[in-house]
Amino acid sequence: MPRYKVTVVGAGMVGGTLAQRLAERDYAHVVLVDIVEGLPQGKALDITEAGPIYGYDSVVTGTNGYQETAGSDLVVITSGIARKPGMSRDDLLRTNAGIVREVTERVRETSPEAVLVVVSNPLDAMVTLAHRVSGFPKQRVVGMAGVLDSARYRTFIAMELGVSVEDVHGFVLGGHGDTMVPLPRYTNVAGIPLTQLLPADRIQAVVERTRNGGGEIVSLLKTGSAYAAPSASVVEMVDAILLDKKRVLPCAALLEGEYGIDGIFVGVPCVLGAGGVERILEIELTAEERAALHRSAEAVRELWQALEGTPATS
């Protein structure tokens, strides 16, 4: 069976860890790209040399250019500056926009049939930008955020209840940031509704910790941001797409009227398969949940309009 070709742009902590996780999946050859000379080459060689121990035959190539990436089936964009203590995702906007724009242009030239998975922050604005710049169909551009936010949400619930994370099922909608929308009403532990297991104040504490999950790690690390859980979240999406698994995962997808939102990428439940975002699932929301999702979408829209240089309108 021929191997897939996956390109990871950005060889920092997220990108390097992602390349390792993908190599260990053993279904794709991985190309790791970065502008820093020697960085992607060194990480790629190190990951390849772990193959005899972990038992994978994946070839990992490091490069400072895009020639080696040509014809990729899937490209993950992780490049950009990381959040620093006290820095909001909004602060990252203009710097990372320039980086994502340039990367997307190169990907469009070298891998015009690829599925594009965007990880760079601020996520929702960056995936919207990548879609506009690439000109790719909306199904082939998707943002990673909901899987990560949902993993944090499930982790905190498991910690609160003293149960296995495997038995906690729930997801997060909306933008990747302070306005994300965890849904306790759709959350369960081995089928038992969360609302029967935790009082309202403890559920709210979990929701707030989830919203601040990335910032909590940044404040602890002081010189970096999360990379283990983000890279694992990308792998779950890549698996679903390349292996055509039809997984239902919360991802940033382009909405065109779903949930009453139009023209921007926002986190919603998606069916991921060989075509990328094959379907968006519209679930029933209460008036309060819907209002929260619309507030989150409006925050994303304002960020995008700030990037475009146009005044934000409600």
pLDDT score recorded for residue 306: 85
Q: Is the dihedral of CA 230, 236, 237, 239 positive or negative?
A: positive
User: Which residue in 29, 131, 176, 294 is the catalytic one?
Assistant: 176
Percent of the chain surpassing pLDDT 70: 95
> Does 92 have pLDDT greater than 80?
no
- Give residue-wise pLDDT tens across range 188-228: 999 999 999 999 999 999 999 999 999 999 999 988 899 99
pLDDT in tens, 292-311: 999 999 999 998 888 877 54
Q: What is the pLDDT of residue 84?
A: 64
176 as an active site residue: the answer is: yes
Across the range 111-132, mean pLDDT stands at 95
Q: What pLDDT digit, counting tens, does each position of 230-275 carry?
A: 999 999 999 999 999 999 999 999 999 999 999 999 999 999 999 9
Per-residue pLDDT tens for 61-74? 999 999 999 999 99
Q: In the predicted model, is pLDDT for residue 115 greater than 70?
A: yes
Please write the tens of the pLDDT for every residue from 271-288: 999 999 999 999 999 999
Residue 22 above 60 pLDDT? Answer: yes
Cβ–Cβ under 8 Å, residues 248 and 216: no
Position 313 pLDDT exceeds 80: no
pLDDT score recorded for residue 87: 63
Residue 250: burial class (beta carbons within 10 Å; 0-12, 13-18, 19+): buried
Rounded to the nearest integer, the mean pLDDT of the chain is 94
3.40.190.10, 3.90.110.10, 3.90.1170.50, 3.40.50.720: which CATH number matches 146-308? 3.90.110.10
Residue 91 has pLDDT above 80, yes or no: no
What pLDDT shows up at residue 90? 63
Options 3.40.50.2300, 3.40.50.800, 3.20.20.220, 3.40.50.720; which CATH number does 4-143 get?
3.40.50.720
Q: Give the whole-angstrom CA distance, residue 19 versus residue 40.
A: 10
pTM of model > 0.85: yes
The domain limits of the chain are 4-143, 146-308
Residue 85 has pLDDT above 70, yes or no: no
Residue 295 makes CB contacts below 8 A (sequence gap 6+) with: 179
pLDDT on residue 163:
98
More confident residue, 86 or 102: 102
pLDDT score recorded for residue 311: 46
Q: Hey, what are 121's tokens?
A: 């922050």
Statement: residue 12 has pLDDT above 50: yes
Burial of 233 (0-12, 13-18, 19+ CB in 10 A): buried
Mean pLDDT of the region 169-187:
94
What integer pLDDT is reported at residue 284 of this predicted model? 97
Instruction: Taking residues 178-195, report their average pLDDT.
Output: 96
pLDDT on residue 187: 98
Please tell me the distance from the alpha carbon of residue 213 to that of residue 226, in angstroms, as a whole number. 9
Name the residue with higher pLDDT: 209 or 90: 209
